[in-house]
Structure 1
């Protein structure tokens, strides 16, 4: 069954994480995505190894399924002309070059929209394409620091730490995807494409939500609470007798259920802890008392009691635990696809489920230049032309 974006053609001039993640979401939902890479080198994530499978970087593999791939040297006139040819019937172009690079190449939005007025041009950047920092480079780690995330991540008495995933890059990729889809929907009504932007800075600022609102309302700057939450307690990790366990109490009803389940009768109606506002106010004392309880019991014992009582909580799984989890497998989040050099390749599945037009894992990530001949032949170039392009370093 065709995905909801079947027939949409996407030209990806992006590398690393945010841009390729955006186009992979579109590809997973049925779009025809053509990834353009630099000859001989490719996307820089091809070099993010180890780990690797048969010479293919696992990092690269994770971001490029369901795409075709060609190589083009955009510093050559022939390479630029091929891009212009591809743009003629493209619906979307995604790029994450430094600000001004595409314009210097003669491939900026103002030029390409003249070739194809229906083109949705999505630009991904670090700080946005305008403003005093538009030319500054940015990586996920830099933006976790600059955007405030690291100031609230980690233990109060320890140095700031980054989140374990590249959450700023990934969020920016999702916002870029949302923006692209919105522009495609608008095109249905206007007949015209438009320029779409997503930046790492604006993405991480937008994720601050309740923290930012609290600062704007009160002027108080939040600090690091480890796994705790500034607005509720207990809502964090506790050390158990044998490992760690999460207990997530978000309201007073769950508080009473938790106390009954764990036998914490002396805390249940205690005036310091009976309501959430007081539990937050007296957080230090509460956590000390609950920590004493948790350290005397195993994670399994606490988790079982919480589950039976309907209180959110449980163990901290590692990544291997998650990938082997029966629920994760049942929901189709582990898929297999054939790769030209690796063979059967396990990949993550599609997180968005659609009943009538579901996404699917159809193709393995392309090897470097895998579809050069196919794509260039489709554009009308002869085998002799393609051989010349190869000799001249165009592809």
Structure 2
């Protein structure tokens, strides 16, 4: 007997765009929740014009993109003019039908729209509302505009990336955005569990800055306790040595290797250089850190003796040394392990074609993930959502189209009711 997904019968109103908020709601959707994505008219989520789009002439005005599909599949699209008072009235009318609301406007926007948590809580006391922002809802940075890279810089992350004598470097992918979305989804799940036990909804907030700062591994206590200590950039090597980092192989490729202090003897055995155990430069983990450059030179000299990277990795793995080839993205996407686990999944979109996207970050024994994925065109579920959740009829919906409160993708055609003239 096929089991329903774990969040079946939970309903989520998603008023988010770009990556962090959509990641949160996409995870909830994949877990079975009915997610209604409220997109802002006239263009919808800004990522609809990002990534790759259909190159077919007949799809020139299509609202679909690979960027949008990756972060918003499995949701229903409701496209409203959020600035319209009528649209905000509709949101309030639907709030009793929702278990969760997730938004990532700048702090204060929801309150100015009459949609603060306190106002919505009065309508639906069981509502779980989650706000996602750059730096939190209060504090001197709260009103600062920005995205992932801005939070990365404020968190002291950017300054630690790059070569020792070079400039700070950027992590050129939305690590903070995606991680904040995962944290928000986790928090929503916890809040729903709390609600199941107490009957109480609650307000959650998280930010990219909070998430990024939480990623610091060991440096924060070190800086706190040692008043004159300033971490330095160490390029492709871990600041604590190990050896841990990225190393060049004899065939010109690279591998990454991580050796913890308790693995030092096994590492020396793998290299077949027992004399390193008696070398005073490497007698302790702290000394190995201080002499990391010499250790790197020894390791790369050893790696140069192998015809291929695969041979070197096999020699290391015989001694249980954690290591891996530094794969290109294309190589990673083709790896059979990632394919078998669904870490790489295929989307079959009627407008763009077949392409790969990342799979979900967790697995559950009680509910297998997988199956075909879909992503709505802009406003594809306008009628369905407004009829079932707001109690509107065709005439009401037609008037909303004529007033410009509702919009939808041109490929969906114009609803017949929208063409009818309003009676005097």
With the length of structure 1 as denominator, give the TM-score of the two structures: 0.94
- The alignment partner of 1:309 has SS state of coil
Which residue pairs with 1:381 in the alignment? 392
Q: Is 1:26 matched up with 2:36?
A: no
1:237-273: CA deviation from partner (whole Å, max 9, x where unpaired): 1122221122211123x22222222333332432221
| 3-state SS, counterpart of residue 97 of structure 1 | coil
Change (3 A) 1:360 1:109: farther
Query: Is 1:95–1:123's contact at 8 Å kept on the other side of the alignment?
Result: yes
| Aligned position for 1:393 | 404
Is 1:303 equivalent to 2:305 in the alignment? no
Residue in 2 that maps onto 1:40: 42
Q: Are the equivalent residues in 1 in contact too, given 2:243–2:259 (CA < 8 A)?
A: yes
Q: Residues 283 and 91 from structure 1, CA distance in 2 versus in 1: closer, same or farther, beyond 3 angstroms?
A: same
Runs of at least 5 residues in structure 1 that lack an aligned partner in the other structure: none
Distance 1:213 1:361 in 2: 45
Distance in 2 (CA, whole Å) between partners of 1:195 and 1:152 is 34
* Paired position in structure 1 for 2:53: 52
The answer to whether the 8 A contact 2:342-2:370 is kept is no
For structure 2, the 5+ residue unaligned runs are: 56-61, 407-424
8 Å contact 1:3–1:360 — kept in the other structure?
Answer: no
Aligned to 1:272, the other structure's residue is in SS state: helix
Question: Aligned with 2:12: secondary structure?
Answer: strand
Q: How far did 1:307 drift?
A: 2.0
Give the CA RMSD over aligned residues.
1.9
2:176 aligned residue: 168
1:16 CA displacement: 0.7
Q: Structure 1 CA distance, aligned partners of 2:177 and 2:84?
A: 30
1:175-186 equivalences under 5 Å are: 175-186=183-194
Going from structure 1 to structure 2, the CA distance change for 1:161 and 1:84 (only over 3 Å counts) comes to same
- In structure 2, what is the equivalent of residue 278 of structure 1? 287
d(CA) in 1 for partners of 2:172 and 2:310? Answer: 25
Give the TM-score normalised by structure 2: 0.88
Determine if contact 2:18/2:46 at 8 Å carries over to the other structure. Answer: yes
1:215 aligns with 2:217: no
Alpha-carbon offset, residue 360 of structure 1: 4.1
2:324 corresponds to 1:317: no
The residue matched to 1:84 in structure 2 has which SS? helix
Rounded to whole Å, the distance in 1 between the matches of 2:280 and 2:178 is 43
Contact 2:241 2:290 in 1 (8 A): no
Alignment check: 8 A CA contact 1:35 1:69 kept: yes
Q: Offset of 1:311 from its aligned partner?
A: 1.1
**Deviations 1:222-242 (CA, angstroms, capped at 9, x unpaired):** 111122222341001112222
Residue 150, structure 1, aligned to residue 158, structure 2: yes
Match of 1:62, SS state, is: helix
- Cα displacement (A) at 1:74: 1.3
What's the CA shift string for 1:90-143, capped at 9, x where partnerless?
A: 000000001111111111111111110100010001111011221111211111
How many Å separate the matches in 1 of 2:303 and 2:164? 21
Alpha-carbon contact 2:42-2:81 (below 8 Å) kept:
no
| In structure 1, distance between residues paired with 2:347 and 2:70 | 12
Asked whether the equivalents of residues 349 and 361 of structure 1 are also in contact (C-alpha less than 8 Å), the reply is no
Q: Is the 8 A contact 1:299 1:314 kept in 2?
A: no
- Are positions 1:61 and 2:69 aligned together? yes
| Counterpart for residue 238 of structure 2 | 229
Give the structure 2 partner of residue 76 of structure 1.
Answer: 84
Q: Secondary structure at the match of 1:290?
A: helix
Distance 2:40 2:114 in 1: 17
- The answer as to 2:379 corresponding to 1:369 is yes
> Quick one: distance in 1 between partners of 2:255 and 2:346?
33
Contact 2:82 2:88 in 1 (8 A): yes
Q: How much does 1:321 deviate?
A: 1.1
Name the CA distance, whole Å, in 2 between partners of 1:292 and 1:159. 28
Q: What is the total number of aligned residue pairs between the two structures?
A: 393
Q: Is 339-348 or 88-97 further displaced after alignment?
A: 339-348
Partner of 1:140: 148
* The one of 9, 12, 22 aligned to 1:10: 12
For 2:419, the equivalent position in structure 1 comes to none
CA positional deviation for 1:340:
4.4
1:48 Cα deviation (Å)? 1.9
Q: Note closer, same or farther for the CA distance 1:310–1:141 as it changes in structure 2 (3 Å cut).
A: same
CA distance change for structure 1 residues 387 and 190 in 2, over 3 Å: closer, same or farther? same
1:262 touches 1:302 (CA, 8 Å); kept in 2? no
Q: CA deviation at 1:85?
A: 2.0
Report what 2:422 is aligned to.
none
1:279-311 deviations in Å (ceiling 9; x for gaps) = 112222222332333345442221121122221
Whether contact under 8 Å (2:347, 2:356) holds in the other structure is yes
